[in-house]
Amino acid sequence: MTLLLTEQQIALAPKVLLHDHLDGGLRPQTMIEHALASGYTKLPSYDPEKLAKWFVEACSSGTLELYLETFEHTISVMQTRDEIIRVARECVIDLAADGVVYAEVRGAPELFTRKGLDLDQVIEATVEGFNQGMAEVAHNGKKIRVEHILCALRQNYVSEEVATKVVKYKGRGVVGFDIAGPEAGFPPTDHIKAFNYLRENGAHYTIHAGEAFGIESIALAVRECGAERIGHGIRLIDDIDFSSGEPKLGSLAQEILDNQVCLEMAPTSNLQTGGAASYATHQIGVMKKLGFNVTLNTDNRLMSATSMIREAREIATGYSWTMDDLHDVARNGIYSAFIDDDEQEDIYQSQIKAVYDRL
């Protein structure tokens, strides 16, 4: 019988986070303070516990579209340089407390320009906040590295401009690009010029696909757009036939398995948007057994009232994962990160393997 991991073991386990949205991870108290200071009067509650509860309930509608509507509140209190810096700094501190040693946190800079900031100022404020957070964590005796992924929204068509910012800030706190937003009606191929530009300039990119839409969105992301990683990708399970008892992979699933395309999975978020029925049946467990390059992620910590500790605990319980399984997904994460191979190897050996060997 497999012994369940303890909360302490899960907390101590080094974690790698590749899919986390900055505007989906604010502390409720920070939101309230920013709203009061800026005159934003539309928060559903000005009590931190009630506000946190409201977000979870509002995001558990079972649809991605309604889930995305809640972001109006978080975005509205991230419109100045100081607000962005604070949110980014606190993000790093919270992730470090969760046992994360490496993270790529994403955000769409176009969303934070309502009060006059331009894209460059938004990006620079975010990176400054991450740097402050990393320095504070280091001062307190821990180590975490946090890099930024710039998102463009499928429905707004500013992807080419955002792609130029990825190249401009490459090596200066930005490591990649992403297309996010509602999948239905907005295929990734609408942004093919941005992907071509990124590829020509040696920049990395991931694409949200197969979260709320079918395998065709994943096929477009991988085959037409050349995605290195897939955000969520849970609908890839539909290209696997389990009817005979022996899993039979379709051509797309086989291609993604053979090429070890990283799947950035976020169980709690997927349950909220109707993409999965339970932790015990979430696609990550099945696909890990089949050898897919799966990673464990939070997506939006505020909207899901989640953390990397919670994600690991729920899946470890649901699938009877051991410490070796947590090690596997952390290793998958760091070797799929948008940093140089030698940097990946250094973090893996010194901050991941070395710790798992002791646990």
Assess contact for 136 and 89: CB atoms under 8 A.
Answer: yes
The count of other CB atoms within 10 Å of the CB of residue 225 is: 23
Separation CA 151–CA 107 (nearest Å)? 5
Q: Which two tokens stand for residue 328?
A: 């596997």
| Residue pair 330/352 in contact by the 8 Å Cβ criterion | yes
Q: Cα dist. 292→152, 255, 283 in Å?
A: 27, 10, 11
The token pair that represents 187 in the structure block: 């295929």
Closest by CA to 300, choosing from 97, 63, 68, is: 68
Place of tokens 């410490």: 323
Instruction: Determine the 3-state secondary structure of 210 from DSSP.
Output: coil
Kindly calculate the radius of gyration of the chain based on its CA atoms and give it in whole angstroms: 19
User: Euclidean distance between the first and final Cα of the chain, in Å?
Assistant: 19
Pairing of strands 174-180, 204-209: parallel
Say how many CA atoms lie within 13 Å of 13 toward its Cβ: 28
Query: Could you say which of 211, 228, 264, 311 is catalytic?
Result: 211
* Whether residue 211 lies in the annotated active site: yes
- Residue 8 makes CB contacts below 8 A (sequence gap 6+) with none
Q: Measure the CA–CA gap between 179 and 163, rounded to whole angstroms.
A: 10
Active-site residue set: 211
